[in-house]
Structure 1
Amino acid sequence: MAKRVSMLDGHGKKASTARVRVAVRLRPYMEKNEDKVCVRGLDSQSLEIINWRNQMETMQYQFDAFYGDKSTQREIYTGSVFPILSHLLIGQNASVFAYGPTGAGKTHTMLGNPNQPGVIPRAVRDLLQMTRASAEEDWTYSITMSYVEIYQEKVMDLLEPKNKDLPIREDKDHNILIPGVTQKTIDNFSDFDEYFIPASQNRTVACTKLNDRSSRSHAVLLIKVQKSQKIHPYRQLTGKLYLIDLAGSEDNRRTGNQGIRLKESGAINSSLFTLSKVVDALNQGLPRIPYRDSKLTRLLQDSLGGSAHSVMIANIAPEQKYYFDTLTALNFAAKSKQIINKPFSQETVQAPVQSILKRPREDTETAPPPQLKKTKLETVEESPNSSTESLSKHKLQLSSLEPAVVERLLKLDKILTEKGRMETQLLSTPKRERMALLKKWEESQVEIERLKEKQKELEEKALAAEARLERSTGSDLEMSDSSVSESMFREPLRSRATSTAKTKKVLRVLPMQGQNCQVNIQEETIPVVKKTSRKTSGGQENEPGWEVNMRTDVLQNGREKILQFLNSGSLKELKSLQKIGDKKAKLILGWRELNGPFQKVEDLTAIGGMSAKQVTSFLKANILSIVAS
């Protein structure tokens, strides 16, 4: 179960809030025929830019760090990025993102080249070294990476390009995550190169008038560092590092964007404008921060006003033609450094309590098999018949846990009861529907109990009838054959309500002889049922069959009644006969209108759809039904 250690450092001491640290990097001058510059550095933290309202004045800005056009990749990384990496080893989050107009050198700052590696390769290399150096006997480290881009408000997986338009979610602890994103484990820097270089080639770039390889998307590299304890209480600390290369804001009049480039530019500028609104809302203390207005700000929710140690590297250009882009970037950087984050250590305690939560499958109607093991929680709450030694043992196991953990386990155990399980399944339904379903379920339980009692009553009556029958026929009676014969009388009837329940019958069962037996029913209107064995051509006996023998007058009376039904019955009356459906009833009426009344029942073979064998079956079924009624 997860435990959020809010605003604590790795030693459990109170940690202060962390302000977003802002560093500004000035790109080298790149124009050939012009020497006008609009910005220059004053010292390692401040710079000045010409006031566009009055060319004789300048405006000064002060940040956490300023890196001039002569600064190296190592200086920027060592001065602003490396200090926050140690927070990852104690389960805290960190983020570094490059901001600025297009062509100001953001991608170079984050990626660099083989001769001058940027922030990303340096940070990954140092993290791998730090985990190896911090390895302890009782702790293990693992590092995974994910790489995505936000292109036209869609999150694309760069490690697995087929994963497109991934969602961004927030868990119960307000951590931002991307479900379904590809994660790769890296054990050394060569593993990182193997995954990162092909993924970087999948990023969307294009040529504009200001940049030969202009980024058309925001790229986000997520490095997750997990520190796991090998012994009790199996703590797990998880720190995440976001390395973000933002696409630059663009002036389409200077970039010459058209068609798809214009659409990409619109998406980039829209997301950066939402980012500016988020910063303003945080600085003003507004109740609603518009993180959800764009995918970029949603992903930066941890970094701006969230739980991460954040560093912004604002990249600017010195040329006069970039003046307003530079001024906008400096104003945004000045607002961003006022944002306060509240980092905390994300700790998960994986105590071995999973077996406590496991319960054997229970059947509501039958007791659980004795071989099923009882859970620890059940043993603790068992009746006093349990052994004192076992009870004290399990209480000791629970007492070793934290009180909050024990309380949650007891609540979970209560939920996992029969009714609790059902209520849990209905939590996603509205309350009114849930209450109606529960009421219906309770009514069905009452009905089931009533039917069980009725079944029990009928079984008792059947046993009493068998006892009376045994007393009347002697000790050598065989009740199984009488039960079978009685079921045979009910089989042809259309409704079981018209079975022999209303007619009292006195059965006399003769002793069995070999494979044959017969049951004589001493009542004038009931036929005699015989059990016979059917033989195959090879002389072997198959399963026993049944044959019905009746008195001649009963048979004749039944045939006359059926013939009368066939000649005078309506469609509804014909359908009430056994083995006569709607189609056959209509055929009988049509045949009767054309040819007159039936002379005998066997004439049914003339209407079509009924064979002689079916007519015989029809006769038997209806005569039995008439006799029983």
Structure 2
Amino acid sequence: MAKRVSVMDNHGVSKKASPSRVRVAVRLRPYMEKDDEKACVRGLDSQSLEIVNWRNQLETMQYQFDAFYGEAANQRDIYIGSVFPILPHLLIGQNASVFAYGPTGAGKTHTMLGNPNQPGVIPRAVKDLLQMTRAASSTTEEENWTYTLTMSYVEIYQEKVMDLLEPKNKDLPIREDKDHKILIPGVTQKTITTFSDFDEHFIPASQNRTVASTKLNDRSSRSHAVLLIKVQKNQQVPPFRQLTGKFYLIDLAGSEDNRRTGNQGIRLKESGAINSSLFTLSKVVDALNQGLPRIPYRDSKLTRLLQDSLGGSAHSVMVANIAPEQTYYFDTLTALNFAAKSKQIINKPFSQETTQAPAQPTMKRPRDDVETTQSRQLKKSKSDSTEESPDSSKDSTSKRKLNLASLKPSVVERLLKLDKILTEKGKMETQLLSTPKRERMALLKKWEESQMEIERLKERQKELEEKAMAAEARLEKSNSSECDLSDSSVSESTFRAPLRTRATSTAKAKKVLRVLPLQGLNRQQNAQEGIMVVEKKTRKATAGQENAPSWEATMRTELLQSGREKILNLLNSGSVKELKSLQKIGDKKAKLIVGWREVNGPLKNVEDLITMEGMSAKQVSSFLKANILTIVAS
């Protein structure tokens, strides 16, 4: 079981659950646009900065944080000043988190990842953690302790948790265990012992992350990336204690103004999901600062994962990235206001320790105690009987009889029922008991509903089979009666010739033959007239299938080909407004075509529209006919 501990460790860090405020560092990205444009923000010292007041250009607003890094600060300055001090807490079973926040194009991914020449927070932190665990294992005070590091890497893309280490694991759930720890069941975990092991897993996984180009950034992150490093400290001697610290390294996607990024189609949908999750993050911060009874962690997958980092049990550091250009003014102001609210959040970190000490016996009712003792005696007698030699089989049998005879009949009956239940439903009960009560009830309800649905489908299938058999019988009966009619006047081959086309034609033939007048004419003449009517109806019914599409057959080949080429060129190069000029294409379908074209490239044929969501073959055929006829008419 997990418990809180309050002793001092070898690193001098207290393990007691004491309040810890979220530390906020602000990093100002270097100037990237025109030299003649004025900057909207500037630093005052190592902890404060000022920004122009948008209501009055002659005034400025000042902010103070735990650290401020100007344009001259490098990656090492940010890491040593704000991130490195929280690493020792991981070695004593406490949680920590670092997340980069800011608008798109402000340098969040560069701060967290960096490049080979300027490594970011993530590679530096992993390298130092490996070195710290090796150094701690070599000391005499911890010679009976071992350290294990594992890593998991996921992204939150459009409110779905994707496993970057194993891309086939999509839309993973987020759960909370009995100790209120956040976990992701089914996520891939890789053990790392050296920095080379980390590089081997992390670099390919980073390439699986969703990125795209916008007007503000060539490689804009379209998802929130979360790297989890788990540090386990295990004691090799009794009482076999275990301390587990989790380190969350989070690269948030930037908030986006779609008017400036020019997002359309799928980019617009991604931007909406990003902004929605960041808005929920802001609501969580406001609720924590106001002391509200309900914190909306569950309103977003991002805030669900950040539950330990904001108002939870982690030492948290937020790096707010901002841009100096005037065009980023309102994005920078929003980021600074969010950072100012975040630094007021109080977390309560503590070390979570697991031991394998024997559990304390619980109080039992006298009757339960007696029954337990009797069941133990019964088990002991059975085990003793199996260990005895063949010579003492008679004695053991008599002892078992005496033991069973000494038990009450009601107790023996209950033991037999219990044994039957455990043997027949043991596996199912074990799986159900391993899940929380709510999930267990929901699973049972879903299973019952599925069984009822299966029964309904079986009854429906039986009814349909009976109706089909009855219809077949009626059809055979009517066919036999018509055959009798034709034998008396017309040859069999002549009467059945038009009935070989389709079943619908047969039905029409029956109807026509039944209403033909037979009075005043001879039987043979009426039958021949019926055959002629059947053939006429059959030709009309099959004309659409044999000669379709008739409008293409009556059109010259060169006009048809040029019309298709004009439509295909417009589909591949036209804007949303130009696509809306086509027949049967509205605003929604025009945006869908532009988004599909960005992801999959140009269309090879007009019929490729079928692969898009919401476009059926019938709609594509109607679209093609309407537009070609319009082009020819013009």
State whether TM-score is above 0.5.
yes
1:292 Cα offset (Å): 0.1
* Match status 1:158 vs 2:164: yes
1:25-174 matches, cutoff 5 A: 25-135=27-137, 136-174=142-180
Aligned equivalents of 1:160 and 1:306: distance in 2?
Answer: 29
1:35 Cα offset (Å): 2.7
Aligned equivalents of 2:110 and 2:101: distance in 1?
Answer: 12
> Could you tell me which of 282, 286, 291 is aligned with 2:288?
282
The 8 Å contact of residues 291 and 297 in structure 1, kept in 2 or not, is answered as: yes
In structure 2, the CA distance between the partners of 1:364 and 1:255, relative to structure 1 (3 Å rule), is farther
1:4 Cα offset (Å): 1.9
The letter of the residue matching 1:261 is R
Match of 1:242?
248
The 8 Å contact of residues 5 and 353 in structure 2, kept in 1 or not, is answered as: no
* Match status 1:370 vs 2:374: no
Q: Is the helix fraction higher in 1 or 2?
A: 2
The letter of the residue matching 1:3 is A
Aligned equivalents of 2:106 and 2:18: distance in 1?
Answer: 34
Aligned equivalents of 1:158 and 1:123: distance in 2?
Answer: 20
The 8 Å contact of residues 108 and 251 in structure 2, kept in 1 or not, is answered as: yes
The residue matched to 1:56 in structure 2 has which SS?
coil
Match of 1:404?
none
The 8 Å contact of residues 25 and 68 in structure 2, kept in 1 or not, is answered as: yes
C-alpha deviations, 1:447-479, integer Å up to 9, x for none?
xxxxxxxxxxxxxxxxxxxxxxxxxxxxxxxxx
Number of paired residues?
Answer: 387
Match of 2:2?
3
Aligned equivalents of 1:371 and 1:266: distance in 2?
Answer: 72
The 8 Å contact of residues 234 and 242 in structure 2, kept in 1 or not, is answered as: yes
Aligned equivalents of 1:278 and 1:328: distance in 2?
Answer: 16
1:352 Cα offset (Å): 7.1
Aligned equivalents of 2:48 and 2:311: distance in 1?
Answer: 24
Identity %: 80
Aligned equivalents of 2:169 and 2:199: distance in 1?
Answer: 21
In structure 2, the CA distance between the partners of 1:313 and 1:13, relative to structure 1 (3 Å rule), is closer
The 8 Å contact of residues 362 and 368 in structure 1, kept in 2 or not, is answered as: no
Aligned equivalents of 1:363 and 1:296: distance in 2?
Answer: 55
The 8 Å contact of residues 8 and 15 in structure 1, kept in 2 or not, is answered as: no
In structure 2, the CA distance between the partners of 1:296 and 1:164, relative to structure 1 (3 Å rule), is same
Aligned equivalents of 1:77 and 1:348: distance in 2?
Answer: 31
In structure 2, the CA distance between the partners of 1:369 and 1:171, relative to structure 1 (3 Å rule), is same
1:418 Cα offset (Å): 7.0
The residue matched to 1:370 in structure 2 has which SS?
helix
Aligned equivalents of 2:340 and 2:349: distance in 1?
Answer: 21
Match of 2:26?
24
The letter of the residue matching 1:159 is L
The residue matched to 1:368 in structure 2 has which SS?
helix
1:182 Cα offset (Å): 0.2
Gaps of 5+ in 2: 361-372, 388-414, 445-634
Aligned equivalents of 1:233 and 1:34: distance in 2?
Answer: 68
C-alpha deviations, 1:517-554, integer Å up to 9, x for none?
xxxxxxxxxxxxxxxxxxxxxxxxxxxxxxxxxxxxxx
The letter of the residue matching 2:260 is R
1:368 Cα offset (Å): 2.9
Aligned equivalents of 1:8 and 1:248: distance in 2?
Answer: 41
The 8 Å contact of residues 16 and 350 in structure 2, kept in 1 or not, is answered as: no
Aligned equivalents of 1:112 and 1:127: distance in 2?
Answer: 18
In structure 2, the CA distance between the partners of 1:234 and 1:102, relative to structure 1 (3 Å rule), is same
Aligned equivalents of 1:149 and 1:304: distance in 2?
Answer: 19
The residue matched to 1:267 in structure 2 has which SS?
helix
Aligned equivalents of 2:15 and 2:114: distance in 1?
Answer: 38
Match of 1:196?
202
Aligned equivalents of 1:33 and 1:13: distance in 2?
Answer: 51
Aligned equivalents of 1:168 and 1:87: distance in 2?
Answer: 25
Match of 2:316?
310
Match of 1:231?
237
The 8 Å contact of residues 152 and 264 in structure 1, kept in 2 or not, is answered as: yes
C-alpha deviations, 1:378-410, integer Å up to 9, x for none?
xxxxxxxxxxxxxxxxxxxxxxxxxxxxxxxxx
Aligned equivalents of 2:197 and 2:212: distance in 1?
Answer: 28
1:293-308 matches, cutoff 5 A: 293-308=299-314
The 8 Å contact of residues 15 and 92 in structure 2, kept in 1 or not, is answered as: no
In structure 2, the CA distance between the partners of 1:366 and 1:222, relative to structure 1 (3 Å rule), is closer
The 8 Å contact of residues 4 and 16 in structure 2, kept in 1 or not, is answered as: no
The residue matched to 2:384 in structure 1 has which SS?
coil
TM-score by length of 2: 0.57
TM-score by length of 1: 0.58
In structure 2, the CA distance between the partners of 1:418 and 1:318, relative to structure 1 (3 Å rule), is same
The residue matched to 1:167 in structure 2 has which SS?
coil
The 8 Å contact of residues 153 and 164 in structure 2, kept in 1 or not, is answered as: yes
1:508-519 matches, cutoff 5 A: none
Aligned equivalents of 2:386 and 2:78: distance in 1?
Answer: 64
Match of 2:545?
none
The letter of the residue matching 1:138 is N
Aligned equivalents of 1:290 and 1:321: distance in 2?
Answer: 32
The 8 Å contact of residues 279 and 336 in structure 1, kept in 2 or not, is answered as: yes
* Match status 1:179 vs 2:179: no
1:419 Cα offset (Å): 12
Aligned equivalents of 1:38 and 1:153: distance in 2?
Answer: 34
In structure 2, the CA distance between the partners of 1:349 and 1:27, relative to structure 1 (3 Å rule), is same
Aligned equivalents of 2:143 and 2:296: distance in 1?
Answer: 45
* Match status 1:343 vs 2:349: yes
Gaps of 5+ in 1: 374-413, 434-629
The letter of the residue matching 2:44 is L
The 8 Å contact of residues 7 and 342 in structure 1, kept in 2 or not, is answered as: no
C-alpha deviations, 1:549-568, integer Å up to 9, x for none?
xxxxxxxxxxxxxxxxxxxx
The Cα RMSD (Å) is 3.2
1:346 Cα offset (Å): 1.1
Match of 1:331?
337
Match of 2:513?
none
> Could you tell me which of 243, 256, 266 is aligned with 1:260?
266
1:16 Cα offset (Å): 2.6
C-alpha deviations, 1:96-123, integer Å up to 9, x for none?
0000000000000000000000000000
* Match status 1:270 vs 2:270: no
The 8 Å contact of residues 17 and 351 in structure 2, kept in 1 or not, is answered as: no
1:78 Cα offset (Å): 0.1
The residue matched to 2:100 in structure 1 has which SS?
strand
The residue matched to 2:339 in structure 1 has which SS?
helix
1:472-511 matches, cutoff 5 A: none
The letter of the residue matching 2:54 is W
The letter of the residue matching 1:19 is R
Aligned equivalents of 1:76 and 1:267: distance in 2?
Answer: 30
Name which of structure 1's ranges 161-170 and 10-19 shifts more when overlaid on structure 2: 10-19
The residue matched to 2:340 in structure 1 has which SS?
helix
The letter of the residue matching 2:42 is R
The letter of the residue matching 2:218 is D
The 8 Å contact of residues 2 and 179 in structure 2, kept in 1 or not, is answered as: no
In structure 2, the CA distance between the partners of 1:366 and 1:33, relative to structure 1 (3 Å rule), is closer
Aligned equivalents of 2:418 and 2:357: distance in 1?
Answer: 24
The residue matched to 1:54 in structure 2 has which SS?
coil
The residue matched to 2:59 in structure 1 has which SS?
strand
1:231 Cα offset (Å): 0.4
